[in-house]
Amino acid sequence: MELAVVGGGHVGLVTAACLAELGHRVRVQDVDGGRVERLSAGELPFHEPGLKELTVRGHRAGRLSFHTDAEVALKRATAAFLCVPTPNNGGGRVDVSSLMAATRAVARYAPPDCLVVNRSTAPMGTARLIASVVCEQRGAPLPVAVNPEFLAEGTAVRDFLAPDRLVVGVWEEAHAQVLRRIYKPILRRDLPPHLVRDLGEVPTGDVPFVVTSPPTAELIKYAANAFLAVRVSFINEIARIAEELGGDVYEVAQGIGLDHRIGPHFLHAGIGWGGSCFPKDIVALEGMARTRGLEARILRAANEVNAEQRRWVARKLRTHLGTLAGRRVALLGLAYKPGTDDLRDAPSVEIATELARLSVRLQAYDPMVKDLPAELEGVVEMSSDPLDAARGADAVVIVTEWAEFAQLDLAELRSVMSVPLVLDGRNLLDPVAARAAGLTYVGVGRPAFVDIPEGRWDTTSADGPGGDL
Ligand code: UGA
């Protein structure tokens, strides 16, 4: 099918490259001429595993092209996917101006019956707004659908091609059918063999195709992100309780996650969630509720717990080092999560700013982040490897759970540090191995020792709980 994607950002490019891989002819329109040129030359503006290969392959095969000219991109489209930023402006209000500009371009150039599909996260009622802007601009309606994206950075290609579900909000069932046709190989899990090979193990059986009204689909997107953020804040709150009262949050997460009603995901305690989605969407949903006099208490609490959790590093440094002025601290990882170079609303930025305010000297290493944002320029000095960052440090803080940090030679790490303090903000290291290497290991919500009455267990025998003494 002939498809258009408006917006060549993360969501737009993953959508376009994957749809082209399924055999559709996809034209991407973006207002940024430089970006269009670079994309046409096979250069991606960000890192996303597997995306470059798909983009280059689609482009070479003539199924994927990039344009600044909206008319060229849209004039033959059976469906036009809107994938543009919807940032928050003050007070949790969502700025839909880019979305409206994209809508007007589609209204002007798309052929009759082109399905306008909004994939940008936007408040309930936005599909209705899109429909009315189309009518106003074009003097005639176009069908409109909402099809939220559930693409996590680092696994976006997989999330697109092997999703848990597809959600579609429409006013007429026939419009859902157009999306059913576009996504057919994904829904049937009938992907080309090379993709199946690249994706590895994927669930079997048809992908659930959830058809709802447009406002419901819009709310599903916000509710999904809010729920995941709440879960992480919940386990972080349990971590705080464990730190004060006893218990190991890592084992608590395993213990509750085995209950099928709870499940194991998004229960990894740490120094807080970040990125371009959770912080923005949870504030936006809370703001929407407020416009109707509703206080979204759980959303607000999740945010507060998250803000508190980001202060964990400074708190623990004070406990272990006393005064912080003049101390040297190494930050291992800056990206808001592994697999990306994204620093948008990353806990690292807030942590580094706070520590710099306390006159801490900061050295950092991240395998992917090369360019520091303006607020970290002059605040953090970058190192070329983790040991280099840790040299002479009074503490090492694991900020991002990059796999390579789990492979560090801990004895060597200990040998280059001035004070052997490791704050594991992602519970990545094995506490027993870290302590055996002579490090003072502090995890999130993990005890400094295991609280077992003396003589009750032989910790050296296979029957005992072993370990964390
Ligand atoms: C999130 C959602 O997972 C996607 O489904 C959604 O499509 C996307 O937002 C979006 O709205 O576009 P993403 O922000 O890329 O994706 O990252 P996640 O993997 O969800 O992680 C979010 C944050 O939670 C990260 O800071 C991560 O470190 C933190 N997290 C996650 C934890 O601290 N603990 C966990 O157990 C899981």
Using CA atoms, how far residue 439 sits from 312, 409, 430, 468, in Å, is 19, 12, 11, 13
Q: Which residue type sits at 26?
A: V
Cα Rg of the chain, angstroms:
25
Q: With beta carbons less than 8 A apart as the criterion, state whether 210 and 168 touch.
A: yes
pLDDT of residue 90: 77
Q: Is the CB of 266 under 6 A from ligand 1?
A: yes
Distance 401 CA to ligand 1 centre (A): 13
pLDDT of residue 97: 97
Q: Which residue type sits at 365?
A: Y
In 292-408, where does DSSP find H-type helix? Answer: 297-309, 312-321, 347-357, 386-390, 403-406
Q: Which of 77, 83, 78 is nearest to 30 (CA)?
A: 83
pLDDT of residue 96: 97
Quote the CA–CA distance of 20 and 3 in Å, as a whole number. 9
Closest approach atom of ligand 1 to CA 347: 26
Q: Is the CB of 9 under 6 A from ligand 1?
A: no
Quote the CA–CA distance of 410 and 416 in Å, as a whole number. 10
Quote the CA–CA distance of 409 and 405 in Å, as a whole number. 9
Residues of the chain with CATH 3.40.50.720: 2-212, 250-443
pLDDT of residue 213: 98
Residue 2 forms beta bridges with which residues?
A: 25
User: Each residue of 164-197: pLDDT tens digit?
Assistant: 999 999 999 999 999 999 999 999 999 988 888 8
Is 322 exposed, middle or buried (CB count within 10 Å of its CB: 0-12, 13-18, 19+)?
A: exposed
The helix-helix angle for 249-257 and 214-245 (nearest 10°) equals 140
pLDDT of residue 92: 79
Task: Report which protein residue has its CA nearest ligand 1's atom 9.
Answer: 277
**Is 277 part of the annotated catalytic residue set?**
yes
Task: Report which protein residue has its CA nearest ligand 1's atom 24.
Answer: 273
3.10.20.600, 3.40.50.720, 3.30.1130.10, 3.30.413.10: which CATH number matches 2-212? 3.40.50.720
Q: With beta carbons less than 8 A apart as the criterion, state whether 20 and 58 touch.
A: yes
Residue 118 forms beta bridges with which residues?
A: 82, 146
Task: Report which protein residue has its CA nearest ligand 1's atom 2.
Answer: 152
Closest approach atom of ligand 1 to CA 149: 7
Is the domain 250-443 a CATH 1.10.3720.10 member? no
User: Each residue of 103-127: pLDDT tens digit?
Assistant: 999 999 999 999 999 999 999 999 9
Q: Is the CB of 278 under 6 A from ligand 1?
A: yes
Q: Is the CB of 158 under 6 A from ligand 1?
A: no
Best substitution site from 151, 237, 238 to test ligand 1's pocket, by max atoms within 8 Å of Cβ? 151
Closest approach atom of ligand 1 to CA 337: 28
Closest approach atom of ligand 1 to CA 153: 15
- pTM, to two decimals: 0.93
Task: Report which protein residue has its CA nearest ligand 1's atom 16.
Answer: 152
Q: Which residue type sits at 447?
A: P
Q: Which of 163, 114, 109 is nearest to 138 (CA)?
A: 109
Q: Is the CB of 274 under 6 A from ligand 1?
A: yes
Mean of pLDDT over the chain: 94
Per-residue pLDDT for the chain (469 aa), expressed as one digit of tens each?
Answer: 999 999 999 999 999 999 999 999 999 999 999 999 999 999 999 989 999 999 999 999 999 999 999 999 999 999 999 999 999 997 779 999 999 999 999 999 999 999 999 999 999 999 999 999 999 999 999 999 999 999 999 999 999 999 999 999 999 999 999 999 999 999 999 998 888 888 888 888 999 999 999 999 999 999 999 999 999 999 999 999 999 999 999 999 999 999 999 999 999 999 999 999 999 999 999 999 999 999 999 999 999 999 999 999 999 999 999 999 999 999 999 999 999 999 999 999 999 999 999 999 999 999 999 889 999 999 999 999 999 999 999 999 999 999 999 999 999 999 999 999 999 999 999 999 999 999 999 999 998 765 445 544 444 444 434 333 3
SS3 sequence, 38-72?
Answer: HHHCCCCCCCCCCHHHHHHHHHHCCCEEEECCHHH
Quote the CA–CA distance of 245 and 226 in Å, as a whole number. 28
pLDDT of residue 32: 97
Q: Is the CB of 275 under 6 A from ligand 1?
A: yes
Distance 18 CA to ligand 1 centre (A): 21
- State the CB neighbour count (10 A cutoff) for residue 8: 25
- DSSP SS3 for 6: strand
Distance 224 CA to ligand 1 centre (A): 11
Best substitution site from 48, 84, 218, 278 to test ligand 1's pocket, by max atoms within 8 Å of Cβ? 278
Q: Which of 337, 332, 419, 346 is nearest to 376 (CA)?
A: 346
Distance 345 CA to ligand 1 centre (A): 12
Q: Is the CB of 253 under 6 A from ligand 1?
A: no
Quote the CA–CA distance of 148 and 100 in Å, as a whole number. 17
Quote the CA–CA distance of 146 and 387 in Å, as a whole number. 48
pLDDT of residue 469: 31
Quote the CA–CA distance of 147 and 12 in Å, as a whole number. 13
What sign does the dihedral 184-216-275-265 (CA atoms) show? negative
Q: With beta carbons less than 8 A apart as the criterion, state whether 66 and 28 touch.
A: yes
Best substitution site from 94, 155, 165, 228 to test ligand 1's pocket, by max atoms within 8 Å of Cβ? 228
pLDDT of residue 198: 86
pLDDT of residue 454: 52
Closest approach atom of ligand 1 to CA 121: 11
Distance 273 CA to ligand 1 centre (A): 7
Which residues are CB-contacts of 238 (< 8 A; sequence separation ≥ 6)?
249, 252, 269, 445
Distance 395 CA to ligand 1 centre (A): 27
Q: Which residue type sits at 7?
A: G
Q: Is the CB of 152 under 6 A from ligand 1?
A: yes
